[in-house]
Structure 1
């Protein structure tokens, strides 16, 4: 009997009706499959928040100015953001990465410096980054995950911070899913009305300017942020390391989409933590045939959805490992005969 059948049998013979623990059963099955174990473990959970600035932010696509990126990174480093609170609450180690913020941070033990440049170029006028910067970003993201894996971590979450990155995500999704940009664009940091119309128009002009692009690598080079490409490299490395990959909201899911297009087997390692209130996210999750754990009307980013879903993931592993079976508890199973 293969590991999948053994896991399903173990889940089905717990002291409960079959399927009664709903999504927890699916999570237990997935985690057991990732680890190829009937008794999986979660060790040293870690959250990485990649931060970077975007040239497109200077075209009015965000409700906030670009300097909010570095201000929020300082907030992360001072422990004041939502992701700090939730990571601390659930004993998740938090790592902040400067992938390409337009700010020179003072030396800080909690900041991983992986800066490619002080933000990308505006993709309205040219490619966001060079091919060399793209490759450097992938390598830096992968290197960060390799080091984390060596410390014993087997479950890793991905978050981001970067004013303008919902615009990048929307256009990446539009290209890789081959759907109109209007179906991908949302409020982001809170743009509405004329500002939202302006955001859509800018992204339409961008697609007209760049024309047809098909490969995920070229799409990321043209429209991605350094934080997004580092996350892409990090996700692919996490899959190579056999880790459980926790995917946050719209931006992280868009990066995952690119990783999936590059290596479809990464889907086996991924848990989608929440449905973002960003309008394109549901369509993206449907495209990926992914079922999110939570729906809390959040659109904050930072990896907050991963941190909030983690206790439920722990519960899935706990029931698989600790809950009695019908046999061990001497409880009668459902009758195999139907009443006539």
Structure 2
């Protein structure tokens, strides 16, 4: 197994198409800029999709699930068995993202990378088992090099499937008890900021629980202080699902497939992808500002302006799915509004 594919060049957005879309927006029957971010999104999508009529009718959602050894440190309000149970819930249609995917008529892929409570073979779940869990990163690197390579590659495989299915937009989601702890560790290491700036309530910790979480993160960051690249920090401090997301984002940019990034954990994965491959950044649109404590800081680091802010913190790609209708409306407005000339309206 090799990670050479990670260094392959990304597709470059179509600058001429962006300029044409921007000029088109100026001719529509509205004051310039009056539709705000809806105009920006339409222009971005036109450039990324290389078309004057962008569309996000065909959406692919991959939810990556994996357990974390750091759960042994008592950093979550929920027991670790929940990860495997939620994999089953995703597949049976009862989870929030399952409902949202149906409402959007999106393709929902569930990928099991390894859970301590293995639900076994389930229709609709892709088994890509790496191990029952990552290692406790307070004691050792979260992933071996082989496990890390496998997780990144699983993400790329999901993008390949999305592209083959004709998807116009890729959304990555995650599930894994203790994964806000892993994301906070990775973000803290990448930003060189104390974990108190990044760690939040996760599944519902109280103030004392958050303080304990910070102390766990401090131990882990001290242990892995020698990790000196974005990928090595992700390997030592991340999770299978976070690595899969990072791999998916790089692969999407290489394949020319726009990405809508979800919340704190997925944005942290995006930060790793961009740190490794800066040309990934133009392919990332950001869905929402999570209520999870560290998300605003990670968004700031990526100069990202999210579409919505609804106080969400569920994960699963739920925030990204909730933002899709606004992207669809942005495209509908761009493609369907009359120009001043067509409508016979004076353009002062």
What band does the TM-score fall into relative to the shorter chain? over 0.9
Corresponding residue for residue 45 of structure 1:
59
Unaligned runs of 5+ residues in structure 1 are 335-340
1:80 aligns with 2:94: yes
CA–CA distance in structure 1, aligned partners of residues 18 and 308 of structure 2:
25
- Shift in Å at residue 43 of structure 1? 4.5
Corresponding residue for residue 251 of structure 1:
265
1:202 aligns with 2:216: yes
Corresponding residue for residue 139 of structure 1:
153
1:271 aligns with 2:285: yes
Corresponding residue for residue 183 of structure 1:
197
CA–CA distance in structure 2, aligned partners of residues 105 and 63 of structure 1:
21
Deviates more, 1:202-211 or 1:51-60: 202-211
1:69 aligns with 2:78: no
1:220-247 CA deviation, whole Å, 9 max, x = no partner?
Answer: 1101111111111111111111111010
Corresponding residue for residue 304 of structure 1:
318
Unaligned runs of 5+ residues in structure 2 are 1-14
Would you say the 8 A contact 2:113–2:129 is kept in 1?
yes
Would you say the 8 A contact 1:165–1:251 is kept in 2?
yes
Would you say the 8 A contact 2:18–2:47 is kept in 1?
yes
CA–CA distance in structure 2, aligned partners of residues 52 and 140 of structure 1:
12
- Shift in Å at residue 75 of structure 1? 1.1
- Partner of 1:100, secondary structure, is coil
Deviates more, 1:49-58 or 1:221-230: 221-230
1:100 aligns with 2:95: no
Corresponding residue for residue 324 of structure 1:
338
- Shift in Å at residue 103 of structure 1? 3.0
- Shift in Å at residue 82 of structure 1? 0.8
1:287 aligns with 2:301: yes
Would you say the 8 A contact 2:85–2:117 is kept in 1?
no
- Equivalent of residue 159 in structure 1, options 173, 178, 185: 173
Q: How many residues align?
A: 334
CA–CA distance in structure 2, aligned partners of residues 273 and 188 of structure 1:
19
CA–CA distance in structure 1, aligned partners of residues 34 and 106 of structure 2:
29
Q: 1:180 to 1:76 in 2, by over 3 A?
A: same
What are the residue-to-residue correspondences of 1:5-16 with 2, within 5 Å? Answer: 5-16=19-30
1:152-176 CA deviation, whole Å, 9 max, x = no partner?
Answer: 1121111100001000100100111
- Equivalent of residue 184 in structure 2, options 162, 170, 194: 170
- Equivalent of residue 238 in structure 2, options 218, 224, 236: 224
CA–CA distance in structure 2, aligned partners of residues 167 and 232 of structure 1:
17
Q: TM-score, normalised by structure 2?
A: 0.94
- Shift in Å at residue 213 of structure 1? 2.2
- Equivalent of residue 104 in structure 2, options 68, 75, 90: 90
Alignment RMSD: 1.2
Corresponding residue for residue 162 of structure 2:
148
Corresponding residue for residue 338 of structure 1:
none
Deviates more, 1:115-124 or 1:68-77: 68-77
Corresponding residue for residue 141 of structure 2:
127
Would you say the 8 A contact 2:17–2:52 is kept in 1?
yes
1:60 aligns with 2:74: yes
